[in-house]
Amino acid sequence: MHEFDLIRQIDSFAADHDDVKVGIGDDAAVTSSNAYKDMISCVDTICEGIHFKRSTLHLSDIGYKALAVNLSDIAAMGGTPRYYLVSLGIPAEWDQEEILEIYRGMNDLAKRYGVILIGGDTVSAQNGLMISVTVLGEIETNRSLLRNSARVGDIVFASGTLGASRGGLDLLLSQGLTAHRTEEEKALVIVHQRPDPQVTLGELLKESGFRIALNDISDGLSSEIWELAEASNVCICLEEEKIPISADAIKLFGKQSAYEYALNGGEDFQLVGTVAKTHWPTIQSTAKEKGIRLSAIGSVEHEGDSQVFMQKNGERTRIKRTGYRHG
Ligand SMILES: Nc1ncnc2c1ncn2[C@@H]1O[C@H](COP(=O)(O)OP(=O)(O)O)[C@@H](O)[C@H]1O
Ligand SMILES: Cc1ncc(C[n+]2csc(CCOP(=O)(O)OP(=O)(O)O)c2C)c(N)n1
Ligand SMILES: [Mg+2]
Ligand SMILES: [Mg+2]
Ligand SMILES: [Mg+2]
């Protein structure tokens, strides 16, 4: 199985319909709701052994993260999350109190964003806990921020810092859940266990009214930037020195590994996007007023050929799409 190939083949079953504004291929689907609003829907699943182990997430973190990864996809559309449904596949060794603790973690995050649990499904499973969350959100008609909106001359930007989640995962896999940790170590671990979905930033970018292409960083910057380039059919060049690498990751793992984690580690759940150069200072300062860091990390150079390069000291190399891939 090859994740991206499989999805491309599955896409041939998706019929066109006037009410489907965005189907397979972006962070979430956009469908007509009424004259004023579009509905935004997404589903992401996390599986024991693949997305978490008992040694990497507390029970409450499993719930928190299962919802957070979906709020992140709604944020990547500029949408507002409203409702969620949860599907569970539960192996025999998991007991009821453990599952309820997972829900407590999910509820912590749901309350923060006013997202309401409206249903789900519960089945037994043979190997490993599986938790799949569907989030339904909304946005004003035709205002979604899509991956295919990048244009020549745009600034490429990223929110927050990158590489922390993969650093945190390294620490958790080597030290376990309950180790005594330094402040820097704690900071990385918390990003891995309880990533902060950028819903406020997504809404703020949408509110700007500017043409903005947007994607969230689940698989890694290298992979997400390729998705923007391919969806928009443009060539993007990033500047290595401008990538906002987590300072804690640099301190603990050194600059080279931290850079690798920022590019390919994934699960930072920050946003990466593009905006016209003239609008960049406005969105950067609006975000700053809300305490959100946005960094310019590159630019969109030409169209007609999707490519991504990394530039350093005047030399450029083609970025490999080495983010996380299932299969
Ligand atoms: N099994 C599937 N059937 C139908 N659509 C799918 C399937 N898996 C993924 N997709 C769609 O493919 C696109 C890419 O999915 P994915 O890479 O998981 O997005 P993201 O990284 O934003 O969560 C999305 O539009 C998603 O809805
Ligand atoms: C135990 C463990 N091993 C490895 C990882 C790293 N990892 C698992 S899935 C993943 C990518 C993100 O998940 P995916 O299902 O591809 O999310 P999507 O792109 O659909 O949002 C990463 C980096 C992890 N979180 N935990
Ligand atoms: Mg996404
Ligand atoms: Mg997904
Ligand atoms: Mg996702």
Q: Give the pLDDT of residue 323.
A: 77
Residue 227, ligand 1, Cβ within 6 A: no
Pocket test for ligand 1, best of 7, 87, 146, 326 (most atoms within 8 A of CB): 7
Assign domain 147-318 to a CATH class: alpha beta
Whole-angstrom Cα distance, residue 268 to residue 295?
15
Residue 269, ligand 2, Cβ within 6 A: no
DSSP string, 105-173: HHHHHHHHHT-EEEEEEEEE-SSS-EEEEEEEEEEETT----GGG--TTPEEEEES-BSHHHHHHHHHH
Whole-angstrom Cα distance, residue 45 to residue 327?
15
Q: Give the pLDDT of residue 322.
A: 81
The C-alpha angle 37, 41, 42, rounded to 5 degrees, equals 155
Nearest Cα neighbor of 262 from 305, 217, 294 is 217
292 exposure class (CB count in 10 Å sphere: 0-12, 13-18, 19+): middle
3-state helix, strand, coil in the chain (%, to 5): 40, 30, 30
Pocket test for ligand 2, best of 218, 226, 272 (most atoms within 8 A of CB): 218
Look-up of token digits 């330094």 = 182
Pocket test for ligand 1, best of 6, 8, 11, 24 (most atoms within 8 A of CB): 24
N residues, the chain: 327
Residues 6+ apart with CB under 8 A from 291: none
List where CATH 3.30.1330.10 sits in the chain: 3-140
Q: Kindly report the CATH number that applies to the domain delimited by 3-140.
A: 3.30.1330.10
Q: Give pLDDT tens digits for 269-322.
A: 999 999 999 999 999 999 999 999 999 999 999 999 999 999 999 999 999 888
Distances (CA, A) of 117 to 38, 98, 111: 20, 19, 10
Q: Identity (one letter) of the amino acid at 81?
A: P
Ligand 2 centroid to Cα of residue 51, in Å, is: 5
Q: Give the pLDDT of residue 273.
A: 98
Whole-angstrom Cα distance, residue 124 to residue 216?
31
DSSP label at 160? S
pLDDT in tens, the chain (327 residues): 888 899 999 999 999 999 999 999 999 999 999 999 999 999 999 999 999 999 999 999 999 999 999 999 999 999 999 999 999 999 999 999 999 999 999 999 999 999 999 999 999 999 999 999 999 999 999 999 999 999 999 999 999 999 999 999 999 999 999 999 999 999 999 999 999 999 999 999 999 999 999 999 999 999 999 999 999 999 999 999 999 999 999 999 999 999 999 999 999 999 999 999 999 999 999 999 999 999 999 999 999 999 999 999 999 999 988 878 888
List where CATH 3.90.650.10 sits in the chain: 147-318
Rg (the chain; Cα; Å): 19
Nearest Cα neighbor of 149 from 196, 209, 69 is 209
Residues 6+ apart with CB under 8 A from 55: 172, 173, 176, 177
Atom 17 in ligand 2: which residue has the minimum CA distance? 218
Using the atom order of ligand 2, give the atom closest to the CA of residue 173.
1
CB distance 156 to 294 below 8 Å:
no
3-class SS at 316?
A: strand
Q: Identity (one letter) of the amino acid at 306?
A: S
The C-alpha angle 27, 41, 326, rounded to 5 degrees, equals 45
Atom 7 in ligand 1: which residue has the minimum CA distance? 7
Ligand 5 centroid to Cα of residue 44, in Å, is: 6
The C-alpha angle 195, 204, 165, rounded to 5 degrees, equals 15
Q: Give pLDDT tens digits for 228-253.
A: 999 999 999 999 999 999 999 999 99
